[in-house]
Structure formats: structure tokens, C-alpha cells
Structure 1
Amino acid sequence: MFQLVEFLSRNRNFILFVLLETLSFWLIVQSNSYWSATYFNTSNYYVAKALTLSNTVREYATLREVNADLAAENVRLNTLVTQLQQQRAVDAPPNYQPDSLFSARFTYVVAKVINNETNRANNYITIDKGTLDGVQPGMGVISATGVVGKVRFCSEHFSVITSILHAQFMVSTRLVRSDEIGTAKWPGKSPDFIDLIDVSRYKTVEKGDSAVTSNLNAVFPPGIMVGTVENLTVRPDQTFYDISLRLSTDFRNMSYVYVVKNQLRPQLEELQKRLETERR
């Protein structure tokens, strides 16, 4: 208390000056309509600026929660789209009616990317979901924009994904306009492009055509974007096109991915094993 009194006593002249200046300013604003309007317009402007800055900071602070909510919503939408695609397949005959369990066989688990490689010959991605979340090796992984890769290893809380940017990763891919099926395989160069091989040169392929996962996938739902045709060439001695796809997924800026669960995959693998046994 003594220090406060001492401070006021030592600075009394300055405090009196500030009070008189404030009183003078208030009297001018109250008695003059021009300065009154100017004061309120100016104060409203700076108050609005302060509120805008405050809202911006608050929105930035909640971006993590917003992204998580959007990722969860994408899971629901992906499940719904996949079911509709299976029920209304473009190439299905009119009287074809898929089994309800078959059309709903794909479900999704949202995961956050915690490590991502793009500059190696064989690239891997690490996510924050593992066996405790139902993730198993061999499951497909997609993003909101397209194919990402396939689960390679799992622990209880983490999983390592073989990225599509891997020399040994291949995915059956269909060109939407030409309805031709080939295999997408990364040539080990730019993380923005992937090759599409085994597409016959005698089929019409156009630049800009969309490439999506085909129906010949047990790992990925059909219709998931892989990329778009960027360049295509064919040499006289070749049977197939040389096609370069621009990947639909930006691997340098991935935050969330979706692990694809095929509920019927164990049955399919069991049948494949029995078939291989019969062939031996």
C-alpha cells in the first residue's frame, strides 16, 4: 500500500495530465457532432479489427479438431459412396442385384499420418492406428483424394504402409472414358506421377482421362481415384501405350488417411488358397 501511494505521489503530475487530456477529449466528442461521429467510426473500425484477429486466432487453434471432424465425416461418406457404387455398378446387367453383405463389405478407419516418405525408391508411411483399432497387414489405405497404399506391418497402436510410391506396389486401374484396365506402377521418379502399363495401343485413350481402381481389387473399393492421364506415347514396335498419370493424392501434404476394411476378404483369401491347392 505504501508503494502504491509513493508511486501516485511521484507521478501525480503525469497522472493529472492524462486525466485532463481524457476529460478534454471526452468533452470534445460530446459537444461536437463531427468529432463524435469520427470517434465512433474509428472505434468501431478497430474493434472490428480486434474481433477479426481474435476469431482468426480461435479458428486456427481449433483446426486440429475441425480436421478430425472432417476426417470422420469423410469415413461416413466413403462408406455410403462405396455401397451405392456396388448397388448401381455401371457395367452390371439390368437384372443384377448384389448381395447386401457384399455391397456393404467395405468399412473405414480414419488415421493420422505421423511419418511420410516421398524421396526414396521405396517409400513408406506411418499412421497412428494399429491392431487395437482393427488394422491388419494387407488392408488398403486411401486418402480423401485417392489411393495411398497398403498396410505392411502393424503394432498395437501404429502401422507402416507401403506407399503407392514404392517400386513393388501395383494396383489394378481402370480408365473411365475408354473403360480399359491396366496396372499402375510407380517408376521411382517424381512423387507426382505414376505409370499405367498394359493398356492396348489399339484402344482410344485421351489425355485428361480419369484413372480409378478397377473391380479387380480385393484391397480397394472400385472407383477410387488414382490419377489423370498426363502424357501418353506409343512406339511403332510396342503393343501397349506408355501412359503417365498425374497422381490425384498430394503425398507431400497428407494429414489423414483411411484404412479400408474388406469384411469379406478372409472368405476370398480362403477360396484362393483352396484354388491354389487344387492346382498343385
Structure 2
Amino acid sequence: MLQLVDFVVRNRFFLVFVLLEVLSVWLIVRSNTYWGATYFNTSNYYVAKTLAFSNSAREFTKLDEINADLAAENARLHAQVTSLTQRQPLDAPAGYVPDSAFASRFTYTIAKVVDNETSKANNVLTIDKGAVDGVKPGMGVISATGVVGKVRFCSANYSVVTSILHSQFMVSTKLVRSKEIGYAKWPGKDPNLIDLIDVSKYTKIFKGDTAVTSDQNSVFPPGIMVGKVQNVAVHPNQTFYNITLRLATDFRNLSYVYVVQNQQLVEQEDLKARTLEKR
């Protein structure tokens, strides 16, 4: 308290000067219409700027929460779209009615990417969901834009996913326009590009054609984006195209993913194993 009094005493002339200046400005604003309007507009401008900055800062602190909400909404929409497309397949013959359990067999679990690789020959990523969340090895993983990979290992709270950017990973892929089916396989170079192999050259393929997961796939729902055709080449002595796709998923900026569970996968795999045993 004594220090405050001492400060006022030592600076009393300066403080009186500042007080008189403020009083003078106030009197000018009150008695002069022009200066009053100028003060009003200027103060409103800076108040608006301050409020805008405050709102931006507040929204920035909530980005994680907003992203999580958007991811949850995307998971719900993925489930709805998959179920609808399976109940009413566009290329199904007249009279075909799929079983309701088959149409709704895919469910989605949201996960956040906590570690990611893109520069190796065999890349993996780690997500923050594991066995306690119902995640199991063999489940597919997608992003909001396309295919990501397949779960390889699980702990209680984390899972390691084999990325599509892995030399041993392949996914059955269909070209939407031509209906041709091949396999997407990464050549181990550019993380934005992937090869589409085993597509017959006796059909027309165009640059920009969309490639999605095919129906011949028990891990991924059909119709999930893989990429778009960037280059098409064919050699005279080959019966297949050399096709390069630009991946739909941007692996360098991957934040949230969706673990896909096929509720009928065990039944499908058991039946397939029994078939192989009988051969």
C-alpha cells in the first residue's frame, strides 16, 4: 500500500496530465458530432476485431472436439450408405433381394492415428483402439476418403495396421466405368500412387476413371474409394494394362480412421476353408 502511495506521489504530475487528456477527449467527443461518430465507429471496429480474435481462439481450442464429432458423424453415415447400397445394388438383376443381415453386416469404430509411416517399403500405422474396443486382427481400416489398410496386431488399447502402402498388401479393386476388377498393390515408391494390376487390356480404361473396392471382398465394404486412374499403358506382348492410380487417402495428413468389422466374416471364412478342404 505504501509503495502505491509513493508511486502516485512521485508521478502525480504525469497522472494529472493523463487524466486531463482523457477528460479533454471525452468533452470533445460529447460536444462534437463528427468526432463523436468517428470515435463510435473506431471503437466498434476494434471491439469487433477483439471479439473475432477471441472467438477464433475459442474455436481453435475446440478443434479436437469438433473433429471427433465429425468423425462420429462420418462413421454413422458410412454405415447407412453401406447398408443402403447393399439392400439395393445398382447392378443386381431384377428380383434379387439381399438378406437384411447381409446388407447391414458392416459396422464401424472410430479411431485416431497416433503413429504413421509413409517413407518405408512396408509401412504401418498405429491407432488408439484395441481389443477392449472390439478391434481384432484382420479387420479393414478406411478413412473418410478411402482405403487405409488392415489391422495386423492388437493390444488392449492400441492396434497396428498394415497400410495399403505395404509391399505385401493387396485389395480387390473395381473400375466403376468398365466394371473391370483387379488388385491395387503399392510398388513402394510414391505414397500418393499405387498400381492396379491384372486388368485386361481388352476393355477401355480412361484417365480419371474411379477405382473402388469390389464386391469380391470380405474385409472392406464394396464401393470404398481406392483412387483415380492417373496413367494407363499397355505393352504389345502383355494381356494386362499397366495402370497407376492416385490414392484417394492422403496418408501424410491422416488423423481419424474407421475400423470396419464384417459381422459375417467368420462364417464366410469358415465356409471357404471347408470348401478348400473338400478339393
How would you bin the TM-score normalised by the shorter chain? over 0.9
Partner of 1:239: 239
- TM-aligned CA deviation for residue 11 of structure 1: 1.2
Deviation at 1:10, TM superposition (A): 1.2
Classify the secondary structure of the residue corresponding to 1:49.
helix
- Residue 93 of structure 1 corresponds to which residue in structure 2? 93
The corresponding residue for 1:155 is 155
1:242-265, Cα deviation, whole Å (9 max, x unpaired) = 000000000000000000000001
Confirm or deny that 1:213 pairs with 2:213: yes
Q: Which residue of 1 aligns with 2:273?
A: 273
In 2: Cα distance, 1:121 partner to 1:66 partner: 34
Task: Give a deviation string over 1:36-79, Cα, whole Å, max 9, x none.
Answer: 01101111111111111111111111000000000000010000
For residues 161-172 of structure 1, the aligned pairs below 5 Å read 161-172=161-172
Q: How far does the alpha carbon of each residue in 1:116-136 deviate from its partner, in whole angstroms, 9 at most, with x for none? A: 000000000000000000000
SS in 1 for 2:246: strand
- The match for 2:52 is 52
Shift in Å, 1:91: 1.5
**After TM superposition, which residue ranges in structure 1, 4 or more long, deviate above 4 angstroms?**
none
1:10-40 residue CA offsets vs partner (Å, 9 max, x unmatched): 1111111111000000000001111001101
Q: Name the counterpart of 1:7.
A: 7
Deviation at 1:8, TM superposition (A): 1.3
AA partner of residue 133 (structure 1): D
Determine whether 1:39 maps to 2:39: yes
**Pairing 1:185-196 to 2, within 5 Å after superposition:** 185-196=185-196
> Counterpart of 2:275 in structure 1: which amino acid?
L
Q: Secondary structure at the match of 1:196?
A: strand
Distance 2:36 2:144 in 1: 54
Q: Distance in 2 between matches of 1:182 and 1:2?
A: 85
1:52 is matched by which residue type in structure 2?
A: A
2:184 matches 1:179: no
Partner residue in 1 for 2:126 = 126
Deviation at 1:274, TM superposition (A): 1.2
For residues 14 and 228 of structure 2, what CA distance do their matches in structure 1 show?
Answer: 72
Structure 2 distance, partners of 1:94, 1:9, is 97
In structure 1, the residue matched to 2:67 is 67
Matched, 1:104 2:98: no
2:137 corresponding residue in structure 1: 137
Q: Which runs of 5+ in 1 are unaligned?
A: none
Q: What percentage of residue pairs aligned between the two structures are identical? A: 67
In 1, the alpha carbon distance for the partners of 2:4 and 2:206 equals: 82
* Residues in 1 aligned to 2:272 and 2:131: alpha-carbon distance in whole angstroms: 24
- TM-aligned CA deviation for residue 162 of structure 1: 0.3
In structure 1, the residue matched to 2:264 is 264
SS in structure 2 at match of 1:231: strand
User: Please, what is the CA RMSD of the aligned residues?
Assistant: 0.6
**Which ranges in structure 2 are unaligned for 5 or more consecutive residues?**
none
Shift of 1:4: 1.8
Letter in 1 for 2:220: F
The alignment's TM-score, normalised by the length of structure 1, stands at: 0.99
Q: How far off its partner does 1:269 sit?
A: 1.2
**Per-residue deviation, 1:194:** 0.3
Q: C-alpha distance in 2, partners of 1:197/1:89?
A: 25
**Mapping for residues 246-257 of structure 1, pairs under 5 Å:** 246-257=246-257
2-side partners of 1:79 and 1:227: how far apart?
A: 21
Deviation at 1:197, TM superposition (A): 0.5
Q: Are 2:55 and 1:78 aligned?
A: no
Classify the secondary structure of the residue corresponding to 2:60.
Answer: helix
- Counterpart residue type for residue 199 of structure 2: V
Aligned length: 279
Which amino acid letter does the alignment assign opposite residue 34 of structure 1? Answer: Y
